[in-house]
Structures are given as structure tokens and as C-alpha cells.
Amino acid sequence: MALYKRRLLEEFDHGVRLHRDYSNAELFFVLWALGHCGQRDADVLVNAALRNSALFARVFQCSVNKAMWEGHRCPFWQ
């Protein structure tokens, strides 16, 4: 994820919107999750990783009482 963020900041034309229904940041997370489809326990892996992502919480505006909010995030995922 760190490589994606660095490349995004360095090279991406921020005036380009890749999908009409999703912001580019939302689209990144959607496509990342779809990339795990078909893998064993993909839902567990994806949910655990994203629940620990402050960026995911910010992009999707996860509030404290939502299922994808993790109060104590693991810094490994940042």
C-alpha cells in the first residue's frame, strides 16, 4: 500500500477521475479487495487488513460504531 501511495503522489494526474461512482481512493480499496476474490478466507484477510487501515477509515468515513472501525489499529498496516 505504501508503494501505491508514493506512486500516486508522484505520478498521478489528480484531475483524472477513474470511475464516476467512486473516488480514486475508494476505487483503490475496491480493486484491492476484488484482487483477493477466490482466495481461501479472503473475506477475513480483507476485512482485517482494512479495519486496521486509517486511510480506509478516512476514505470511507468509518465512524466509531461501524463494523469496519477498529479502535486500536496495528501500525504495521499504516
Q: CA 5, CA 68: separation in Å to the nearest integer?
A: 21
> Given this model, what pLDDT does residue 63 score?
78
- Termini Cα distance of the chain: 8
- Residue 78 pLDDT class (50, 70, 90 cuts): low
Is the per-residue pLDDT at 59 higher than 70? yes
> Given this model, what pLDDT does residue 33 score?
93
Q: List the domain range (segments joined by +) for residue 45.
A: 2-8+24-77
> Given this model, what pLDDT does residue 48 score?
86
- Would residue 19 count as lying in a domain? no
pLDDT tens digit string along 14-55? 677 778 888 888 988 999 999 999 999 999 999 888 888 888
Domain count, the chain: 1
- Would residue 15 count as lying in a domain? no
What's the whole-number mean pLDDT along residues 6-15? Answer: 65
| pTM summary value | 0.67
